[in-house]
Amino acid sequence: MWNIYLRAKEISGCGISGIIHRKGELIPGEMIIKSICCQYERGNGLGAGFAAYGIYPEFKDFYALHVMGQCRESLERVEEFLHKRTYVSFQEPIPTRRVKTIKNPPLFKRYFVRPKFEGEIVEAEDGQSEDDFMVNLVMEINEKISGAYVISSGKNMGVFKGVGFPDEIAEFFRIDEYQAYIWTAHNRFPTNTPGWWGGAHPFTLLDWSIVHNGEISSYGTNKRYLELFGYKCTLLTDTEVVAYILDLLIRRHGLPLELACKVMAPPFWIEIDEMDEEDRELYTALRMVYGGAVLNGPFAILFAYNGGLVGLNDRVKLRPLVVANKGDLYVMGSEEAAIRTILPDPERVWAPKAGEPVIVEMEEATIPNQKSYLKVRPKEEREDALRIGSYPLSLFTSK
């Protein structure tokens, strides 16, 4: 009877959890483990993972590369590549434990690096930023070095993921030994993509990390659109495109966070037609310019960065998402049970509306390398690529 119950529940697919403290207090790993394991029946053992922010304070100014290798030779090729292209401050195997149910796992190492530019480290001669350099580096490793994948590449954060149930992956990567000011977690039920170590969630680029319940049915369109901007989708899972879309819209094109969410989960045309003139012009421009970045299909996603956590449903709300807080501690999850198991007496519990993001940012100047994306980025921090067609940048940033 128990197995029949599990098969019936698995169809709902995937569990997600996220925790953030707005004042940067460290949250023990046991909390996120308890929250995601409460959603055990949402997975089938083919994928789980965790993202943690604030875990490398001693290397806070270095990019922390978590690299998965199928064999020692793959990691050796990555190391040779990194020593040519970056300054490697420190490297070590990622600590793991033996878990009976996890057989023949890949090898995992972490490298703390800074870009090796001609002369100064700060900026390349052609104006390429450190972040641009690292994005290109990650794409090149994942595409060209066989058997090796960079699974996270942000500063003072890291991702731990693999094939297994969340309690098994937590035990394997010793998640209980970490403390972080932001956590996200995932329990996977693969639907139309492979269940493999690189395809587990979270997906990342720089300090963006994504966990997702549902299906990105626009994956093919999104993938082709992103390739126009130099992104390479190599991890065989639809969720990968969301991390790259966020990087494109927010870091490179400078859109405020809320507008970037409206690109991914936009109002329907019939809703746009009924808006006042100013809003109608804005959302028409967003739909026209960024049609290739619209996410179709049922989804609930949590994405984090150094300074914030965001929850977002698709525009019809075909997947569940619940949010709660008590003071400065906020918890998001697929089920209210995943919240109450670690926050039994919240001040407020609510379900976000379809397509309406829940954005929780830390108080200003709380953590190292802190970022805020609530406002448009200054011109010197974004590309001029937003000047597309007849739509000027000011149209997107007038709100």
pLDDT digits (tens, 9 = 90+) for 268-323: 999 999 999 999 999 999 999 999 999 999 999 999 999 999 999 999 999 999 99
Convert 131-158 to b/e letters by CB count within 10 Å (16 or more is b).
bbbbbbbbbebbeebeebbbbbbbbbbb
Query: In this model, does residue 395 exceed pLDDT 60?
Result: no
CA 17 – CA 301 distance, rounded (Å): 10
Q: Where are the alpha helices (DSSP H) in 252-335?
A: 257-264, 269-273, 277-289
CATH class of 13-396: alpha beta
Q: Where are the domains of the chain?
A: 13-396
pLDDT of residue 305: 98
Residues 354-375 have pLDDT tens digits of: 999 999 999 999 999 999 999 8
Instruction: Answer yes or no: are the C-beta atoms of 26 and 180 closer than 8 Å.
Output: yes
Q: What integer pLDDT is reported at residue 394 of this predicted model? A: 55
Q: Tell whether the model's pLDDT for residue 396 goes beyond 90.
A: no
pTM of the model: 0.91
What's the pLDDT tens digit per position in 156-195?
999 999 999 999 999 999 999 999 999 999 999 887 788 8
Q: What is the pLDDT of residue 8?
A: 43
- Give mean pLDDT, residues 237-245: 95
| Mean local confidence (pLDDT), 246-252 | 95
Nearest to 53 by CA among 85, 78, 18: 18
Q: Is the pLDDT of residue 107 over 60?
A: yes
DSSP code per residue over 185-210: EEE---SSS---GGGSSPEEETTEEE
Catalytic residue among 14, 37, 38, 261: 14
Helices and strands (H and E) in the chain: how many: 12, 18
Q: Is position 261 annotated as part of the catalytic site?
A: no
* Mean pLDDT value across the chain: 90
